[in-house]
Amino acid sequence: MKKVLMTALCLLLFLCLVDHGLLNAQSDYRVGWETSMKKVFIKGDRGGFQGSFNFPVEISLAKNEYESFQLVVIGNKNLTGVRVVASDLSDNKGNKISAQNIKVSPVGYVEIKPEYLKPAQSQDIVGWWPDPILEFMEAVDIKQGDIQPFWVRVYVPKGAIAGTYNSKLTIRANNSGSKEIDIKVNVWDFNLPDKPSMRTAMHLNEREEIGGIYNVETGSAMYEQLIRKTYNFLMDYRIGPDVLYGKIGDIVYVGQLAQTRWLKRINLGYIEARAYSTESEFQEALESFISWLKNSRIPVFRKLGLMKYAYIYCFDEHITHPWAKAAVQRLQQEFPDIPLMTTGDLRDHPEYLDEYSGIDIWVRWQLPSLISWISTVEEARRRGKEVWWYISVGGNKPNWNLENKLIETRLIAGAINAKYHPDGFLYWKLNNWVKVDPPNDHPIASGPYTDWKPLSGRSDDRNYFGDGILFYPGPDGPIPSIRLENFRDGMEDYEYYVLLGKLANANTTAGADLLSRAEAALQVNSAVVEDMSHYTTNPQILYQEREKVAKLILRLSEGVQLPPEEDDNPPAPPTGIKVVQ
């Protein structure tokens, strides 16, 4: 009788599992996860799936911060309509963080084709590369054998209670059962600021790229809507809206954003000599530019309260042009209170500080940790100059081309900035979509395999993929890339070091041992970044360092009340670039 009863119970359990699709789910697909700092290749090439199948997934973050991971579904058969739904985050004290703060989206793929390569380039990079995050898609089809990641972005609001929270992610498919996995979120008891501490000047092409990819007329209602949506989108990723090679379009709306959100720097206009055949033509253009600034642009900036953020960008990578020196003197004479910015090599040419004394912001390609370079930087700062840096097209590392390690993007914006203390970061273009060969002519509208052409930069011997693109056009506006997500994560990592430094200075009762550990952390662990050629590619090392810094912040914040966020333009005197000797 007992045997019959046991058989019946087993049959009932089996039928229940079948009814709920659990047995189908077990055999139809597997679920794993990967950090936000490693790329997951949909075809399993380049080493296969290297993530984990062990749960729960655990992440840690401050309040007013984003942190992500990738939930990975591996299809054992063709799956349709695969989607992931999150539950509220809750702790064991009844506190909750709404599931609205967890955004889950499929990761899309762009293809590097053989015909995109130059003869000297390796065929090893041909294939599908993860990059766009398809936020417009709630579900995605997964082919048998494909390894499909979903980007899981968690945000903790300012008012949240610190502690450990738990949530469940439910994976569902139209033609299979569901699975639940657990996530654990540790919320640290401090807030990150709304306004980023690091200044940026990252070029947004409005008319040609945004207007071109959406085929909308400049000045139309749709164009204005797309531009404003893009400004806010970039600010969500701690990038101020800016145009390097021209003027930003909707300056009135930027003025509103400076009041309601934040602003760090904004370009008044751009002057260049290479576009002119003769010096007389250039001189005429320069005088016209000066007149336009004085009579049109500056009055608008003043009315909107934007002059404290303003700079003039000039002579991009060509400050040594024969006509540049006199032009810089002329601009300084007309606008002595407006910083002039250029990209020039102070490292090898410290004499530029004298020859181009009117330049206020020097932007250097890469950040070499050389004693001679550091002495030049310190001399520039003694003269009241700012020293920024930038990355650009090239096979150099660190960089954020598609072929580079994903963690490099986070290090560029975070630990590297924290180690070397530049005054700002410049990037030549955020949305190089249309002005490429072959060009893109429509937004991304489907996935995970997209028809986007990722060729965006080139040199004599190779083409570069992803250079000049940190976000993509979706059906209704901008969508992020996994590199842009890592850029924001790095900007947030940088805030940890800024906050730690402020607390170390403000805490007058901390013991010598605690302050010593804080000072050591502010140097940035060489296991994370030793120099610009040696840095970690292991996310766990970065996570461990974040946790160490967070714990120091919590210790030093005891009994300390920092003043509220202030407008830091013009900037306070810099602390100086540090060198690992």
Furthest-apart CA pair in the chain: how many Å? Answer: 106
SS3 581: coil
pTM: 0.93
Q: What is the DSSP letter of 87?
A: P
pLDDT of residue 26: 77
Which letter does DSSP use for residue 50 in this model?
-
Q: Which residue has 């003197």 as its token pair?
A: 329
Where does the pLDDT of residue 461 fall: very low under 50, low under 70, confident under 90, or very high at 90 and above? low
pLDDT at 213 over 50: yes
The arithmetic mean of pLDDT across residues 236-263, rounded, is 96
The DSSP letter of residue 522 is H
24-51 average pLDDT score: 92
Return the amino acid letter for 204.
Answer: L
pLDDT-derived band at 254 (thresholds 50, 70, 90) equals very high
Q: Tell me if 380 sits within 8 A of 353, measured CB to CB.
A: yes
pLDDT score for 6: 57
Quick one: 246 exposed, middle or buried, by C-beta within 10 A (0-12, 13-18, 19+)?
middle
The pLDDT of 321-332, averaged and rounded, is 96
Measured CA to CA, the distance from residue 224 to residue 210 in angstroms comes to 10
Coil, strand or helix at 429: coil
Amino acid residing at 368: P
Going from the C-alpha of 452 to that of each of 45, 466, 494, the distances in angstroms are: 20, 11, 32
Spatial contact of 200 and 484, defined as CB atoms under 8 Å apart: no
Instruction: State the average pLDDT over residues 72-90.
Output: 98
Q: Has residue 503 got a pLDDT over 70?
A: yes
**What does the alpha-carbon distance between residue 428 and residue 265 come to, in Å, rounded to a whole number?**
15
Closest of 367, 549, 491, 560 to residue 66, by C-alpha: 491
The predicted model gives 541-568 an average pLDDT of 89
**Using CA of residue 364, residue 400, residue 46, residue 66, what is the dihedral sign?**
positive
Q: What is the mean pLDDT of the chain?
A: 91
Examine the pLDDT at 295 and tell me if it is beyond 60. Answer: yes
Rounded distance between C-alpha atoms, residue 188 and residue 156, angstroms: 10
Contact by Cβ (8 Å): 149, 40:
yes
pLDDT of the residue at 571: 42
Residue 423 DSSP symbol: S
Band (573; pLDDT cuts 50, 70, 90): very low
Q: How far apart are CA 390 and CA 415, in angstroms?
A: 15
Q: Is the pLDDT of residue 576 over 50?
A: no
Residue 325 three-state SS: helix
Residue 21: predicted pLDDT: 46
What pLDDT is recorded for position 20?
A: 45
pLDDT in tens, 113-132: 999 988 888 889 999 999 99
The average pLDDT across 389-397 equals: 80
Is the bond preceding 443 in cis, omega lying within 30 degrees of 0?
Answer: no
Please name which of 75, 84, 130, 131 lies closest in space to residue 105, comparing C-alpha atoms: 84
Residue 9 has pLDDT above 80, yes or no: no
Decide: 60 and 546 in contact? Cβ < 8 Å: yes
Tell me the per-residue pLDDT of 403-436, one tens digit each, with 9 for 90 and over: 999 999 999 999 999 999 999 999 999 999 988 8
> For residue 374, what pLDDT band results from cuts at 50, 70 and 90?
confident
pLDDT of residue 397: 82
Lowest mean pLDDT among 82-96, 298-312, 555-569: 555-569
Q: CA dihedral in degrees (57, 534, 528, 196; nearest 10)?
A: -90
In degrees rounded to 5, what are phi and psi of residue 248?
A: -70, 145
Gap between the Cα atoms of 433 and 435, Å rounded? 6
Q: Is the pLDDT of residue 83 over 90?
A: yes
- Would strands 127-133 and 29-35 be described as parallel, antiparallel, or unpaired? unpaired
161: exposed, middle or buried (Cβ count in 10 Å: 0-12, 13-18, 19+): middle
Cβ(428)–Cβ(244) under 8 Å? yes
What does DSSP assign to residue 88? P
DSSP 240: -
Which tokens is 131 given?
Answer: 């990059």
* Residues 304-323 pLDDT 10s: 999 999 999 999 999 999 99
pLDDT on residue 199: 96
End-to-end CA separation in angstroms for the chain: 80
Buried b (16+ CB within 10 A) or exposed e, 367-393: bbbeeebbebbeebbeeebbbbbbbbb
